[in-house]
Amino acid sequence: TSSDGHRHTLAAGRRLRVDPAPGTMWAHLAVRGGIACDPVLGSRSQDTLSGLGPPALADGDVLPVGPDPGTALPADHAPVRRRPPTIGLWPGPRVDHIHAALDLLVGRPWTVTTSVSRVGVRLEPGPFQATTSDRLPSEGLVEGAIQITPSGEPVIMLANHPTTGGYPVVAVVDPADVPVVAQAVPGSRLHFTRV
């Protein structure tokens, strides 16, 4: 099934081009029988931060397909939907480490930079000021966590996010809006509101 929700049956050797929907960043493809490479820690995808898993895909790669399971075809992917006027934010556990962090995030639109991946979406730098110079210990993150880097860039963590690396998590994107952030193309604008 392609990212537009259409299902296609292809004969051996046939090709199907899958492009992201207009105004979105990623396209998704589910293959009947799955990709039949050896799993690493239960996954057949590569963790881009650690390098665990099968090699990253490159143009011309041929992937083995598993046997037809004879069941309905599930498709588990971030839904493509129109961006809402605003993206909901919850206060983060370190919101007090940046002066007026939530006010600054909701006070204006933010531009998505070219630094976008399954790890996270980096936004243009903002006028953030730390309330302390103390470096935080590394902590676990949830998808949608917004960290503020030392250079003032908000980074919204996505599916392959690491731990914090000492940057304060000042807010968390509402889980319903994480797919919208994940599909934001470089140059697009994000608007936030408190939930």
Q: What is the pLDDT of residues 93-119, one digit of tens each?
A: 999 999 999 999 999 999 999 999 889
pLDDT in tens, 35-73: 888 888 888 888 777 788 888 788 888 888 888 888 876
Name the region of 151 (left: φ>0; alpha: ψ -120 to 50; beta: rest).
Answer: alpha
Tokens found for residue 176: 């319903």
Give the dihedral sign, CA 13/56/64/76. negative
Give the dihedral sign, CA 168/98/110/175. positive
pLDDT exceeds 90 at position 75: no
Entry field: residues in the chain: 195
Extended beta strands in the chain, E state? 87-91, 110-116, 120-123, 145-148, 154-157, 169-173, 189-190, 192-194
**Band of residue 146 on the pLDDT scale cut at 50, 70, 90:** very high
Let me know: does 156 contact 141? Beta carbons within 8 Å. Answer: no
Give the dihedral sign, CA 26/27/31/37. negative
